[in-house]
């Protein structure tokens, strides 16, 4: 399931970057709202994936004891 969240996060991030470039070129307020929604979705997906989050509570690892 984590791979699906990762792919969705990458997809939404790419759409957000493209949207920011489009808003910078045209400045349409409706596009700005869409880009903000895409950005919030991308951040939520990255949090769901847990990129960069340290593993806690794993007793099998010697450094976690």
Domain boundaries, the chain: 2-50
Alpha-helix residue ranges (DSSP H) falling in the chain: 2-26, 29-49
Q: What is the pLDDT of residue 61?
A: 63
Which tens digit of pLDDT belongs to each residue from 8-27? Answer: 999 999 999 999 999 999 88
| Stated pTM of the model | 0.73
Which tens digit of pLDDT belongs to each residue from 13-62? Answer: 999 999 999 999 988 899 999 999 999 999 999 999 885 566 666 566 66
Instruction: Identify which has the larger pLDDT, 51 or 3.
Output: 3
Rounded to whole angstroms, the Cα distance separating 55 from 65 reads 12
Q: What is the pLDDT of residue 31?
A: 93
């Amino acid at each position: 399931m984590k791979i699906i969240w990762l792919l969705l996060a990458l997809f939404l991030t790419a759409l957000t970057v493209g949207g920011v470039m489009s808003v910078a070129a045209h400045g349409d307020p409706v596009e700005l709202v869409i880009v903000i929604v895409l950005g919030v979705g991308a951040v939520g997906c990255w949090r769901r994936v847990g990129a960069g989050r340290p593993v806690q509570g794993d007793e099998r690892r010697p450094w976690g004891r």
